Chain A
Amino acid sequence: MFLAKDKAVRLLLLILFSLLVSTATFAQICTGPVSGGISVDYDTSGNVYAVRCSTWQGANNACVLVYKSTDGGANWSYLADFHVGPTVTFSHPVVLTGSTGDKLYLFLLRSDQNGMIQMLRFSQSGTPEGIYYVKAGTDTITYFSACVDYENGDHLMVV
């Protein structure tokens, strides 16, 4: 008797679970080619930031574009961009939010100088605050990863 009840409860939960899964909806963040990768992160207020590497307005110029959602991902708006000339490509974007200071960090790998890691800093409302070179030199860099300490937001770490 106990087992039968247990199975019935499990079946009911599975049906409810399946219904929830089947009601998933998709939001379209943006249109346009993605070339070089994407990244996503969220801040302590629940805002979500999406990034894609692409080409600038259909031309063969590298760019990276940032979008923001303030309603849990249902609606998105353009926030910021960064673009350069046609001889450079961008890849491996990593977007990170700082827990303090209203910061939005965007790391990317540039194709020039044997691979160069660049960091763009914006406010979380999209105001550009600076462009910084994390690593450039004679070494060939083809891949990287980055993180921030979300406790204080004052340590940025790249490997």
Chain B
Amino acid sequence: MEDDTPDLYTITSTDYGETWDNEVLVYAFGSHPDIAYGRNGYVYLVFEWPGGGDYDIGFIRSTDYCSPGSWVDLEALTDDSYDDTYPKVAALHTLPDSIPYVWVAYNDAPVGEYTPMNLGYAYSCNGGEFWSKNHILDSSTAWNEMACDLWTERNSGYPSSYVNVCYFMGGHFPPFYHAHIFYGRVSSTNPTYWGWLHEKATWPTQSEDGREICQGTYAQGNCAIMWAGKDPPGDPFGDDFQNLYFTTWSTDVEEEITEGEVRAEFSLSANYPNPFNPTTVIHYTVGSPQSFDFAQDKSAVRRPVYTTLKIHNVLGQLVRTLVNEPQEAGTYEVKWDGRDENANEVSSGIYFYRLEAGDFVEARKMLLLK
């Protein structure tokens, strides 16, 4: 809920909506929230928040069905000079009890401007603890409305495979009231590869707010999009949307392409030994970015990838940088001696090691026991 401040509140019900608990303030200075349920009580919340003269995207997570005290304030997704607005969030649990991948998509445009209008996104491999850099899924200088919807398949049990996106590009440039509606989907195998990224419909429609007229879902195992539009090839100059339309399609063919062509070459392995004292070894693999002709990143070629491997403490503070250089594709081994940047021995406790290689980001936990 958003009031004049604005603040973000949650309110919950556990009896099918018969009664509702008291509202709980979860974040000040937030607007246009989107909330998504993950699994095992985990709930993900994104929102706009004003900072530095523009809007950025905030992210918080509840570990217990939005209950008071269960919210954790995590790293903000964006902190740039553009207005990042209308975020959408979806979480992907690839195994029933696995830490989810989370994607957030949002509008991204210069402050006070409507063009170029970008559809930005970021992802996290560890439930929102750390986020990738911000990516651009699509961009337009011709249209000043862009709005997206993110959703996860959930009716075929776990593991879930994909997070889906549909987005709408349109605008108020008479007589061109056509909207372009696109669809794509992404998996944890390659968090920046959006397969099936295609325009699904071009339709006479318009809206003050495209978010209200384009939504995605599943229909008996197939992906589907619903939108509001005029009667094709009807008069595009009327005031009302006259129909609801729905389209669905199978994505089976994409499985062959994904399995045959996109290889998950990046990986971060568990350290050994763990727990350790005072030395442990970390293995990781740097892959080579690839893309298809119809994918967004047409410039991707095999090349060295800028790679960092860093140690953080439980407060998120940087303890040690082990790797910070471009690296060729291959498997690497790095030893950590339990010392910080000043060669001081660190205390016992939990530490995180985080690999960032191009678009690939992953973090793991380890325990130093003295």
Contact = CB atoms under 8 A, between A and B. Distances in A.
Interface of A: 9-10, 13-14, 16-17, 20-21, 24-44, 46, 48, 50, 52, 67, 69, 71-73, 76, 91-92, 98, 101, 103, 105, 117, 119, 121, 130, 132-135, 139-151, 154-159
Interface of B: 1-4, 8-18, 20, 23, 26, 31-37, 39-41, 43, 45, 65-66, 154-155, 198, 200-201, 211-213, 215-222, 224, 226-228, 231, 240-250, 253-254, 256-257, 260-261, 292-294
Given A33-B241, A132-B20, A135-B23, 11 more contacts: A13-B257, A28-B245, A29-B226, A40-B216, A42-B217, A69-B219, A145-B34, A149-B41, A155-B14, A155-B65, A156-B12
Contacts of A17: 253-254, 257
Contacts of B241: 33-35
A139 B294 contact: no
Contacts of A71: 220
Contact of A28 (B34, B35, B243): B243
A35 B240 contact: yes
B210 to A, nearest CB: 11
Contact of B221 (A16, A43, A46, A159): A46
Contact of B11 (A36, A76, A134, A150): A134
Given A31-B243, A37-B213, A76-B246, A46 B35 contact: no
A158 to B, nearest CB: 5
Contacts of B243: 28-32
B2 A36 contact: no
B66 A157 contact: yes
B14 A72 contact: no
Contacts of B10: 157-159
Given A48-B224, A143-B33, A147-B36, A159 B246 contact: no
